[in-house]
Structure 1
Amino acid sequence: MDKLLLQQQVLERLAEDLLQAEQAVRVAHETATHEENIAENKYDTLGLEAAYLASGQARRAEAIRQAMVNWRQFRPLPYNVIKGIQIGALVCLVDSDDRQQQIFLGPDGGSMKLARGAELVQVISSQTPLGRAMLGKCEGDEVSIQVASIRQQFEVLWVQ
């Protein structure tokens, strides 16, 4: 099944992101605790700034770990025309200029593009504006979202 391959690609990308985030945590922590970065006066904030950065990177790493858990537990189901588009759907949208884009609606964030043969698939969650707008739609339905002052409209070309 194509969606299982996409799911595996998401997990691989998240694993790469986690490695980078953990490395960033280590570097920021080492900077924050290095003896040369001990504050000498109240204006010397490099160590404090690095500690804030380490904390933020640690939260990012934890969010990636949680996303990985969600993606591992995720089982994409076949498209059900009665329920319409649900999490796990692979959707092809076409805009007013006849540009097509493929969307894989996943359980968690992870806005990323993956290769599916020669085509790219955008992975989004149902929490994004486009993800929310697609839920429950069927082939032939219109999907509309407001981005700043611009209304974007798409037609659902096909769903798997």
Structure 2
Amino acid sequence: MNKNEVLSAIVAALEADVEALRRAAQIAYEAATAEENKAENKYDTLGLEASYLATGQARRAAEIRQALLTYQQLVLRDYDPTRGIQISSLVTLEDEQGDQRRVFIGPEGAGLKIGHGPQQVTVITPRSPLGQVLIGKRLDDEVSLVVAGVAQVSAVVAVA
């Protein structure tokens, strides 16, 4: 999977997420405003809870829409060894056991997984611990990250 395919898959996943959240927010809004959910006493909070849910889902949908817009405007840059790894870099890391994983440094959408099996790519941002360590690194550099008190060392084996 190359960077263009990764970017297209991220945009498609975010579009699907926006639509799913839009539908969920609409359902929660309808539940919040339904006549049968009107409070009959001060302890009847079903309508209020549905309102909070609708608000939260609408806020999350707005965040995903913003991430989608950011990715739709993202310019993919070729890897420049003088600058090292930057936003839009597709990086392959290999740990000490020889296991490889691929990450895409994106501006938003951390944790999103694209593809399956050996083609799977995880989106990380420069704000994440791994992203902070990777920014500026170059091909064949080692990166070390302490997770749950254990140092994990990986080598940068490919950058696109």
| Interval of TM-score (by shorter of Structure 1 and Structure 2) | over 0.9
Q: How does 1:1-160 map to 2 (within 5 A)?
A: 2-115=2-115, 119-160=119-160
Structure 2: 5+ residue stretches without partners: none
Deviations 1:43-93 (A, max 9, x none): 111111110000000000100110011001101100010111000111000
Q: TM-score, normalised by structure 1?
A: 0.93
Alignment length (residue pairs): 160
Q: TM-score, normalised by structure 2?
A: 0.93
Percent of residue pairs identical: 44
Deviations 1:119-148 (A, max 9, x none): 111122222111111000011111122223
- For the residues of structure 2 that align with 1:88 and 1:112, how far apart are their CA atoms? 14
- For the residues of structure 2 that align with 1:108 and 1:118, how far apart are their CA atoms? 23
- For the residues of structure 1 that align with 2:22 and 2:29, how far apart are their CA atoms? 10
- For the residues of structure 2 that align with 1:87 and 1:122, how far apart are their CA atoms? 14
Structure 1: 5+ residue stretches without partners: none
- For the residues of structure 1 that align with 2:75 and 2:34, how far apart are their CA atoms? 45
Structure 1: which amino acid aligns with 2:142? E
Instruction: Name the Cα RMSD after superposition.
Output: 1.7
- For the residues of structure 1 that align with 2:43 and 2:27, how far apart are their CA atoms? 22
Bigger share in strand: 1
Structure 2: which amino acid aligns with 1:31? A
